[in-house]
Amino acid sequence: DVKVTQSSRYLVKRTGEKVFLECVQDMDHENMFWYRQDPGLGLRLIYFSYDVKMKEKGDIPEGYSVSREKKERFSLILESASTNQTSMYLCASSLGNHQETQYFGPGTRLLVL
Amino acid sequence: AQSVTQLGSHVSVSEGALVLLRCNYSSSVPPYLFWYVQYPNQGLQLLLKYTSAATLVKGINGFEAEFKKSETSFHLTKPSAHMSDAAEYFCAVNPSSASKIIFGSGTRLSIRP
């Protein structure tokens, strides 16, 4: 069974803290994605990676960075958390190209105080 | 530019009634189209996917969607709503394998007993 796991379901951080969100997939997928989900805005792509050590900016990369050192793991980093980064963060993975089905993790709800 | 519009951020139907969730897209080429569902406190999962093989696509849990090129629509339907269908539904479009998938803003479906 396909599985994408995220390190935390809920996280509370303070403004200015460095935050790491981890995502692991066990399907040997090439592509991995980080989205943020906000009410009325749907899913917005932050970054994606199509191979180990490769990354590309999505639609809203400002304030975020990513790391993909191993194929199964894709990390999202908030270098200095701000209150406007309070959101639900969803990780996904897929085979090959962008028209393949994406498989999502359960999400991490981040609150920045 | 490609986009996807979901009409109605919230739809409420009675149990046993027809479910109709609307999605319109804009794309310069025949796209791949997706419907994803997000149950409370979970990530998204694929309901169904249009890949140009057949205009009527059947998905999981009794849902189906019809691709209508002339109307640039891909509406999601289910003949008889069940309480377990209460969730948020996202339409998504991808015009090519090299393009990123674009998600709509979502429609929350509520089911009245």
Whether residues B46 and A90 touch (CB distance < 8 A) is answered with no
- On the question of pLDDT at B2 being above 80, the answer is no
Pairwise CA distance, residues B44 & B22, whole Å: 18
Q: Which residues in chain B are closer than 8 Å to A40, comparing Cβ atoms?
A: 9, 105
Question: What is the pLDDT at residue B37?
Answer: 97
Q: Are strands A108-112 and A10-13 parallel, antiparallel or unpaired?
A: parallel
Any idea which of A7-11, A52-56, B28-32, B47-51 has the lowest mean pLDDT?
A: B28-32
Sequence-separated (6 or more) residues with CB below 8 Å from residue A1: none
Amino acid at B72: T
**Residue A41 pLDDT more than 70?**
yes
Higher pLDDT, A15 or A97: A15
Least confident of A23-27, A47-51, B32-36, B91-95: B91-95
Locate the chain A residue with the closest alpha carbon to B7: A40
B90–A42: do the CB atoms touch at under 8 Å? yes
Tally Cβ neighbours within 10 Å of residue B80: 12
Note the pLDDT tens digit of each residue in A13-38: 999 999 999 999 999 999 999 999 99
Residue B1 has pLDDT above 70, yes or no: no
Please give the full DSSP string across chain A, using - where no structure is assigned.
---EEES-SEEEE-TT--EEEEEEESS--SEEEEEEEETTTEEEEEEEEEETTEEEE-S--TT-EEEEEETTEEEEEESS--GGG-EEEEEEEESSSTTSPPEE---EEEEE-
How much is the average pLDDT of A79-99?
A: 91
pLDDT-derived band of residue A96, with 50, 70 and 90 as boundaries? confident
Query: pLDDT higher for A2 or A69?
Result: A69
Mind telling me how many Å the CA of A23 is from chain B's nearest CA?
Answer: 13
CA distance A5 to A22: 8
- Which residues 28-87 in chain A show a CB within 8 A of chain B? 35, 40-43, 45, 48, 58
For the segment A73-92, the average pLDDT, to the nearest whole number, is 97
The predicted-structure confidence for B45-74, as pLDDT tens digits, reads as follows: 999 999 877 889 999 999 999 999 889 999
